[in-house]
Chains A and B, each alone.
Chain A
Amino acid sequence: MTETKRTSGERVLPVAVVIGSLLLWWGLAAAHVFPESLFPDPLAVGKGVVEEVITGRLFNDLVASLFRVTAGFLLAVVLGIPLGLVLGSYGRARAALLPAVNFFRNLSPLAWIPFAILWFGIGDSPAVFLIFMASFFPIVLATVAAVATIPMVYFRVAHDYGLTGGEMLMRVTLPAIAPQVITVLRVTAGLAWVVVVAAEMIAGRDGLGFAIWDARNGLRIDLLVSGMIVIGLIGVVIDRLLFRLTRIPSVRWGYER
């Protein structure tokens, strides 16, 4: 529980790696191994970032992408966990639906792009739909697996102590699956963030993914790289944030056994 104090090496090393890669990048660019307009140096990319920040496009794109990811992901969580609970608890429903869920889980969300446009047009909703499709099925499957592996003894204890119905759900089933569900949430949030880049290829006017595609179309590799950097950084922030879920005291047990 208590964070062990990080040694100075642990703190210095990641910074050194970042600086090292920047130097390598800069060296490659300065040596003109690749044409300059196809392989910009860090300075040009930095200028690109500044340009995007000043025009307000970066903030706009960031908000657009985060909005879509949050909406699609939350929708998947809000619908996926209950469905997983139902499938995990009722053998018949599981037998009927699990093969279908497994089937869809294997489809790349990008294959849905034509249908996303057909059903949702262009703009936010098809992207939200694709992110939903990317995260929903893994969440359902993980919830089903988690429910199926709850030790019987917990339900018996709950019964002995008079917990029934909704209380059983809130005080036994949900807390018992929480650690596994949190793990899958971390994984799928990363997945959703990856998918947004592809989802935003669908004609929109904004979004970090769109900005990357657009920069590519616009022959602006510097803006493309600055978009990549922002996407990578936000991805790290999202994972750090969701990592804190595993720090909730009442789920620690799931990670310390």
Chain B
Amino acid sequence: MNALDQTVNPVEPFLRTDRMPHIWCPGCGIGTTVNSFARALIESKVDLDTLALVSGIGCTGRVAGYVKLDSFHTTHGRAIPFATGLKMANPKLSVVVYSGDGDLAAIGGNHLIHAARRNIDLKVICVNNLIYAMTGGQSAPTTPGHATTSTNPYGTFEPAFNLPHLLDAAGAVYVARWTTFHVRQLARAMSEAFAKRGFSFIEVISPCPTLYQRRNKMGDGLDTMKYYKDKSKVKHGAPTSEVGLTLNGEIVVGKFVDRDRPDYQSMMRAQYVESLGERYIEAPETECVCD
């Protein structure tokens, strides 16, 4: 062969290649988001030795098993509290939470808002396929009205969460939404999140052709990507109250929130220093419980 053999797919060094091929369906968008993630890691020059990735349960939850990082596939909905403990115990770690909409916003919804309120220094990537996929296409708190799911066979009628609005209200310092069509913008958003201290939330609208699109007669993954291309509108700084999703309507994408406020550990330190003065002993950076 030729010189090309020496080059590799830029995502490859971030993957547990011994676990490839992955389980995701043809046309599923989750793998695409991982490409953007890899590009963001390259661009941000994040030290991979001190980067940990935490997932919950679901199709996106499997990301943890495919990335060559310290990676934790936790319980359903609890990626954020696990990540919180990891970050608290070793503040030097850069901690990414990579999970799905059902995992983060339904069963894990309470943790999501509280971690944002506390401003824990976590980068949360929420792959939103608008449905529970791993379990077979049930309604999620993100499923848009009138969509058909296996548990709403006559159409959903529950109002859906507008996640950027929720996270904005809860206090996240960085909130953006892109789709899997916006691979470069997504990579940039992830890089921006890495540069920020505090709770960042990136929603990625992603196709689940197998369960969501097919049941709603929206075609395959490619049709969905074309829909994202046609119907997305970039509105940086859009009021998050106005970015809710509908079944077939416009998808407002962009960076909605980018603000600074002290993160949990800075606030904790400041409070202790103020109240305890010299009696405060900061947790040793590499506290060793080993022999």
Question: Do the two shown chains form a genuine complex with each other?
Answer: no
Binding site for A on B (CB under 8 A): none
